[in-house]
Chain A
Amino acid sequence: MKDVTTKQPLYVSTDGTAGPYIMVPVSQLDAVRQLLRQHHIPHTVDENAISLNGEPEVAVVDLGHGGDAKKVQQILDSVA
């Protein structure tokens, strides 16, 4: 699945120890959440989104401490 604003693939970040996460444009959030739900991937969405220099707002999808970054990346990559 590509980021609709940058046209780059969405990717699962593994920075830090707080669990993997995905930065997603707000306009694409529903589609990403639907995909995660279809695959029974537990997740939460941060309650605030940020826009820089007037660019589209970006939200953070948290996959939790036990989140499987590799599996979620495969799921995202499987969608055109």
Chain B
Amino acid sequence: MALVDDVRALRDRPLAELTAAHDYYTDTKMAWQIVQKVIRAGHRITIRNMTTGTVTQEAQLAAKARDYVAEDLAEATFQQFVSIFEYFFFDLLRLWLMAYPQSLGGKVLEFKNVLEAPDKDAVTFYVVSKVLNEIAYERPKEWFAYLEARARLGCPTTAEIEQIGEAKASRDILAHNRGVANRIYESKAGKAARYTDGQRIEISERYHRETWELIRKVITDLSDTAAAKIA
């Protein structure tokens, strides 16, 4: 497959995953609203979780449904959006560096790695993977700077990079600090920070949608620009 086709394929998969993730969010939210309507109509419900032993009846289920939808579901799918973007970004960067590895010419590796590799592509793959692993621990601002230095795509905008950085910082807080913003969040989110140290991060429906739209746009812009540059 030609490189340009690889880049387009790289775009289509995360876009489809984003659509599926948002459909899951909306359909699940609506399904819980149906449950709430059924409860309001006077139906009795008992759910027994055979694993935990928890028994939930209609009154508790209505309360749980509210929290599931307003908090758990929004946070889980938001984190999914950010993960989809991260996979896309590093897949694109890998594709680019594999196609144009000259910029990595100064990298040093042990001779045993060369001896163990079946061919030159395997050596390149090893070096590229090592580089990507190092960059992954940097902040999104550095990710984009690295890509821009090599591919000269001219996108996304500075504001979009800041918003992606804030989304990634929010995702990290939800995953690693029980959703409570800290100094690290403030530093990572920079000018786009929505919270300060000690505040609970919320994923409102609007923020959830705007992040989805932003990620979709940035994926489309990056891959389309890269494909046009290669073609």
Spell out A's residues near B (CB within 8 Å): 13, 15-19, 21, 23, 44, 46-48, 50, 52, 58, 60, 62, 65
Contact = CB atoms under 8 A, between A and B. Distances in A.
A18 B205 contact: no
Interface residues of B, number: 22
Chain A, interface SS category: loop
Interface in B58-108: 62-67, 69-71
B224 to A, nearest CB: 27
A13 B33 CA distance: 13
Contacts of B206: 44, 47
Nearest to A48: B26
Given A47-B209, A50-B30, A58-B33, A15 B71 contact: no
**Across the A-B interface, the 3 shortest Cβ-Cβ residue pairs:** A16-B66, A18-B70, A16-B67
Given A16-B64, A58-B37, A48 B70 contact: no
Given A18-B70, A44-B205, A52 B64 contact: no
A30 B206 CA distance: 19
B46 interface: no
Contacts of B62: 13, 15-16
Contacts of A50: 30, 33-34, 37
A10 to B, nearest CB: 12
B204 interface: yes
Nearest to A20: B66
Given A15-B63, A16-B70, A17-B67, A46 B37 contact: no
Given A16-B66, A18-B66, A52-B34, 20 more contacts: A15-B62, A15-B63, A15-B65, A15-B66, A16-B63, A16-B64, A16-B65, A16-B70, A17-B63, A17-B66, A18-B67, A19-B70, A23-B36, A23-B40, A47-B205, A47-B209, A50-B30, A50-B33, A52-B37, A58-B37
